Amino acid sequence: MRMGRPCVGRPFCVWKRRCGGCRVGGMRTMAGLMVLCAVQVASAQTSREMNELNWMEFRELVPARIRTVLLPTGTVEAHGVIHNGADNTAPQDLAREMAPKLDALVAPLIPYGVTGSLDGYAGTFQVSEGAYRLFVGDVLKGLARNGFMNIIVINGHGGPQTAILNELAEKVGREERVRVMVTNWWAICSDVTLKVFGEDGGHAGWNETAFTQAKHASLVRKERYSEELETPRPAAGTWYAFPFPTPVILYQPGQGSVRFDQTKAEEYYAAVVERMTAVVKETIEKWDRAQLFQFRNSGVPGGSSGGGPQR
Ligand SMILES: [Zn+2]
């Protein structure tokens, strides 16, 4: 993901909006332009993906210019007639859409998770809770120690995983004096689901399938769908079965059955991105207003390596 616009007017300048030389044109000597542009190229942000930044670029950005990171978490599990990685592509897509709107970086995805009752379907994985807790805890600590003040988990999988992430958010947040938020997009957007589809959704139901269909239509195997893949979620205390007998779990009986409507899928995708961005933005603004953990570690604003308040 690239930011800014390339400068076509000057041979040494890549980032037009950052380059003072472009605005003054012939008033400066070519040597002056070269120096100016070289400085700007060195500090230009080339990507919002942590995977794609080198250490010098990262050092220039965090925490001086960017203090928020989005960490996508998912798992590999059966999802009706969409891909087993649906809980990975959804949070990754979301994080990439949200990052420019929140002036954030995107951390590498954590693709294996604590799957739960759908473990047992072909191609599904389950990481043990203890291993997951240690690993994700260390990832969160690593993000804090690299200077991020706002760590936002964009979670793609519920079940037992959400509870673990919530506990880790509190533990790492308290120990590292950073702000950590765990977001579950399908739950945050339950009213968006009702609005767009006129009914509730389900695991691998219309809502989740539509989110995939919007950007990855080739991963939706429409011809394989049948109502035999669906079971309504049992009311609390009525029954439990492992593995759950179908991979589509409707939140409510008679609602969320998958229909494959590309227009609604795209409408839903855009509305989910908008809602998720708003929820995270509001939380960061509230953290800032309350000045929570603004003076962490050595007492320097924004952490041991400095930095001002979140823009
Ligand atoms: Zn899912």
| Tens digits of pLDDT across the chain (311 residues) | 444 333 333 332 333 333 333 343 444 444 444 444 444 444 567 899 999 999 999 999 999 999 999 999 999 999 999 999 999 999 999 999 999 999 999 999 999 999 999 999 999 999 999 999 999 999 999 999 999 999 999 999 998 999 999 999 999 999 999 999 999 999 999 999 999 999 999 999 999 999 999 999 999 999 999 999 999 999 999 999 999 999 999 999 999 999 999 999 999 999 999 999 999 999 999 999 999 998 665 444 444 443 433 33
Both 35 and 85 in one domain: the answer is no
**Would you state the pLDDT for residue 2?**
43
* 157 Cα–ligand 1 center, Å: 6
**Would you state the pLDDT for residue 296?**
62
* Cis peptide, bond prior to residue 243, ω within 30 of zero: yes
R_g of the chain computed on alpha carbons: 22
HSE at residue 218, side-chain half, CA atoms within 13 A, is 0
Both 141 and 248 in one domain: the answer is yes
Both 37 and 68 in one domain: the answer is no
Both 252 and 166 in one domain: the answer is yes
Both 219 and 263 in one domain: the answer is yes
Cβ contact 67:149 at 8 Å: yes
Q: Which pTM was predicted? A: 0.83
Both 119 and 235 in one domain: the answer is yes
**Would you state the pLDDT for residue 251?**
96
Both 20 and 141 in one domain: the answer is no
Q: Is residue 263 part of a domain?
A: yes
Q: Please name the residue that has the structure tokens 């003040």.
A: 149
Q: Is residue 268 part of a domain?
A: yes
Both 7 and 85 in one domain: the answer is no
* 202 Cα–ligand 1 center, Å: 9
Both 89 and 188 in one domain: the answer is yes
HSE at residue 214, side-chain half, CA atoms within 13 A, is 21
Burial of 305 (0-12, 13-18, 19+ CB in 10 A): middle
* 86 Cα–ligand 1 center, Å: 6
Q: Is residue 164 part of a domain?
A: yes
**Would you state the pLDDT for residue 59?**
97
* 180 Cα–ligand 1 center, Å: 22
Domain ranges, residue 28:
1-44
Q: Is residue 67 part of a domain?
A: yes
**Would you state the pLDDT for residue 46?**
86
Q: Is residue 207 part of a domain?
A: yes
CATH number of the structural domain spanning residue 91: 3.40.50.10310
Q: In this structure, what DSSP letter does residue 231 have?
A: E
Number of domains in the chain: 2
Do you know the residue count of the chain?
A: 311
Q: Is residue 79 part of a domain?
A: yes
